[in-house]
Amino acid sequence: MDQNSDDGTPVMRPLFLDFESDSGAYADECQYEYLYGEDLLVAPVVEEGAEEREVYLPGPQSWVYLWDGAETVLRGPTTTTVEAPLGQTPVFYRLGSTWTDLFRQIYEQYNLEAQTTQGDDDDDDGGAAEVSAAFAFVTALSCFGQMLS
């Protein structure tokens, strides 16, 4: 948020704002992706029923996928496809971010919420596990936003 108050750069912004020299950041394929601050890349799922999402990662930058727990690093510019079930918006963070510990905590909290609300496979909980996991993610993002201010 300091960057926003110092020079007016939006907190939530299109990829090309930070990656002007990366022509892929201007492509139609990544029009719904955005940066949240300098370190988070969010790729919302905009197709109904989709369970995976193709994500463009701008470069030159290395990105870590938040949801796999393995801290998989991908070097941009590149495109990757990740699982995107309901409640698990594809999110990547910059390798070496000063917020890395927080991002790990978000992943751990998300997994804890998902495990706690998961019932038997035969149980139809009406999507309660997904909603709870999504709530944990949104809460964590809100905390991140507050830390930026």
The enclosing domain of 7 has a CATH number of: 2.60.40.1180
Tokens linked to 54: 């193709």
pLDDT digits over 114-141, tens only?
Answer: 666 655 454 555 555 555 556 666 666 6
User: What is the pLDDT at residue 120?
Assistant: 47
pLDDT of 50 higher than 50: yes
pLDDT of 88 higher than 90: no
pLDDT of 81 higher than 50: yes
Asked whether the beta carbons of 3 and 25 are under 8 A apart, the reply is: no
- Between CA 23 and CA 19 the distance in angstroms is 8
What order of strands is seen across the sheet that includes strand 73-83?
A: 12-13, 34-36, 40-42, 91-94, 52-65, 73-83
- Residue 108's domain comprises 2-148
Give the pLDDT mean for 55-66.
Answer: 96
pLDDT digits over 4-40, tens only?
Answer: 556 778 989 999 999 999 999 999 999 999 999 999 9
- Report the domain count for the chain: 1
- Between CA 37 and CA 91 the distance in angstroms is 13
Q: Check: pTM over 0.75? Answer yes or no.
A: yes
